[in-house]
Chains A and B, each alone.
Chain A
Amino acid sequence: MSCTLVTRLLRRYVSVAQTAGYIIAALVGLSIVLSAVQFYRDASGLFDSDTAMGRDYLVLSKQIGLNKRDASFTAEELASLESQPWVDSIGAFTASRFRASIGVDFAGKGMTTEAFFESIPDEFFDRLPDDWHFSPATGEVPIVLSRDYLALYNFGFAASRGLPTLRESEIGLIPLVITLTDRNGSRVRMRGHVAGFSSRINTIAVPEEFMKWANDNFGNGADAMPARVVVRVNTPGDPAINTYMERNGLEIAGDKADNSTAAYFLRVATAAVSAIGAVISALALFILLLSMYLLLQKNRDKLHQMMLLGYSPTQVSVPYVIFIVVVNAAVWILACAATALVSTLWRKALATLSVAPAGMWPTLLAGAGIMCVLSVVCIIAVRTTIRKDF
């Protein structure tokens, strides 16, 4: 009865018009923010996971032309690249400086091909195989292949030669024979296997330990500068990247540049729309705060009288806390429904592009987080005001 009495006394003067105004404003603001976030999450499926995660790996090389015979980066060029604000870190490709061939006894047919290897620091791999290490004692060389190579084999080579197509998991089971030849012509045969595939690195990659050992023991002695580098970019699609590439005659491998630019604009657009939603939400918060201040002002004498009876500021703030929580919960539920409704507009289009939409829960939970923050701000304001009047 006491709680009901307190509520009855202190809820008086709650303005329906002000409450409705807040609900509409907060609903519009939160719906815009959540829709923008959900659109970003859904549309991110159009890009690879690196780009969508807000980071990117670009493989750079110099443009090759008739007048440009030396494709290696100089130490100054690498330092310049590393100092760019959009660069998080760079890793140099170390190329093999020895002759090598890879042989395979495959479906009764022996094949051998001249080969090359490259290595990059481990941190630049999208997924490192478990056995990604090399020891001269065991002599087993793990290899990571570009997925493009497997596609070339399956859809180009195997089809034309009547060979079976292979899945990634099967290739690892095929033993390889790697033959290294030093500059004097002496050969060493080693065992190898395909330990994994990479979408990021377009090469035949071996562990850096192997590359150092092999270059030291079989190399031609020259300590060459890298011709390719992999760059971890912290602002994918940043227009400054393309400007830098053009000015310095560099090329980005694959379609990363276009992809990154599209992702960049998606992020910018999402941020802009979210900002508009956030501003509307902030204005809605001000409406709620003003409304609560007005309500507290109108009930000031009652609040004071109740505290004279012995009620604590926390106890007399309960009806207002419940009011704030219920109203904000209603806004959250309505905004979730609005976001779900609006997202059907683009999900149909994405479905035609075979892009699976992202789940809605993270977005809805983000909305709950925003409303929790708004509620906490408002509750603190109410309690502070009441304590001042004690």
Chain B
Amino acid sequence: MIEKIELKGLLPRVFSGTRPGGEVWLHDIEFVRGTRYLVEAASGTGKSSLCSFIYGNRRDFEGTILFDGRDVSRLSIEDWCRLRCRSLGILPQEMRLFPELTVMENIQLKNRLTDYKSEAQIHALLEEMEIDDKSGSPAALLSIGQQQRVALVRALCQPFDFLLLDEPVSHLDSRNNMRAAAMVEREARAQGAGVIVTSVGNHLAINDFTPIKL
């Protein structure tokens, strides 16, 4: 279980030698389990990079990331695999669905790994997002907005201490935004998890978040 994520003097290597503004890069900040954070920034300032750094997907940064005081650079491949199944959930900006698999297969690819939700619960989540009728359709045939909703359901099919949502509603209308926010809020509260959401303007409609300017 991860109670706290600390960033110490973090800076993407691409910004090396510069002093970008904001409250994240080159600062010491922490994310605490159970809290909601909204990381706001303009495009190109490194929101997706921040998610990737925390998720262990990229290591091209300076500074240190600590999970409960443990430097992530010392984590093994096996450690990361375990964390991605039990402690860290992510909805990447580019969704990363497999176009040749159906909606349900895409979700089950994750869920079978974590064995977290029943098929009925998955259908219920899809129903809530109004795409259960697409559960048998190949992901390639979905619109971007539909893909975003499927990717969100997939991200929720695991236990997590922190959920990273990289621009989760960038392609959703306000109605679906509300539904997505309610679902995220419910799942996160049930797990006592922290949520880190990035946004360029269209915020996930959750209340009571801590704003952070990147």
Binding site for B on A (CB under 8 A): 1-2, 5-6, 8-9, 12, 302, 305-313, 387, 390
Contacts and interface: CB of A to CB of B under 8 A. Distances in A.
A307 B96 contact: no
Given A1-B108, A2-B108, A5-B108, A310 B98 contact: no
B105 interface: yes
A310 B113 contact: yes
Interface residues of B, number: 22
Contacts of B101: 5, 8-9
A6 B113 CA distance: 11
A302 B106 CA distance: 12
Nearest to A301: B96
A312 to B, nearest CB: 4
A312 B77 CA distance: 8
A306 B113 CA distance: 10
Contacts of A306: 109
A310 B55 contact: no
B108 A310 contact: no
8 contacts: A2-B112, A5-B101, A12-B100, A305-B96, A310-B113, A310-B114, A310-B158, A312-B81
Contact of A5 (B84, B105, B158): B105
Interface in B26-63: 55, 57
A6 B85 CA distance: 16
Residue among B84, B100, B101, B109 with the most chain A CB within 10 A?
A: B109
Contacts of B81: 307, 310-312
B90 interface: yes
Contacts of A9: 98, 100-101, 109
A308 B90 contact: yes
Contacts of A312: 77-78, 81
Contact of A2 (B77, B78, B84, B109): B109
B85 A310 contact: yes
Nearest to B108: A1
Interface string B77-92: 1101100110000101
Contacts of B105: 1, 5
B85 to A, nearest CB: 4
B171 interface: no
Nearest to A306: B109
B122 to A, nearest CB: 12
Contacts of A1: 105, 108, 112
Interface of B: 55, 57, 77-78, 80-81, 84-85, 90, 92, 96, 98, 100-101, 105, 108-110, 112-114, 158
Contacts of B96: 305, 308
Nearest to B114: A310
Given A9-B100, A302-B98, A309 B77 contact: no
Given A5-B108, A305-B96, A307-B81, 4 more contacts: A1-B112, A308-B57, A310-B113, A312-B81
Nearest to A302: B98
A5 B90 CA distance: 21
Contacts of B98: 9, 302, 305
A297 B114 CA distance: 27
B100 to A, nearest CB: 7
A19 B84 CA distance: 35
Contacts of B57: 308
Contact of B84 (A6, A12, A310, A387): A310
A387 B80 CA distance: 12
Closest CB pairs A-B (n = 4): A2-B112, A310-B84, A310-B85, A312-B81
Residue among B55, B101, B113 with the most chain A CB within 10 A?
A: B113
Contacts of B92: 308
Contacts of B80: 390
Nearest to B104: A1
Contacts of B90: 308
A2 B116 CA distance: 14
A9 B114 CA distance: 19
A6 B101 CA distance: 11
A8 B57 CA distance: 24
A308 B55 contact: yes
B67 to A, nearest CB: 16
A302 to B, nearest CB: 7
Contacts of B110: 309-310
A5 B98 CA distance: 11
A390 B78 CA distance: 10
Given A9-B100, A387-B77, A311 B113 contact: yes
A313 B109 CA distance: 15
Contacts of A302: 98
Given A9-B98, A9-B100, A309 B78 contact: no
B112 A308 contact: no
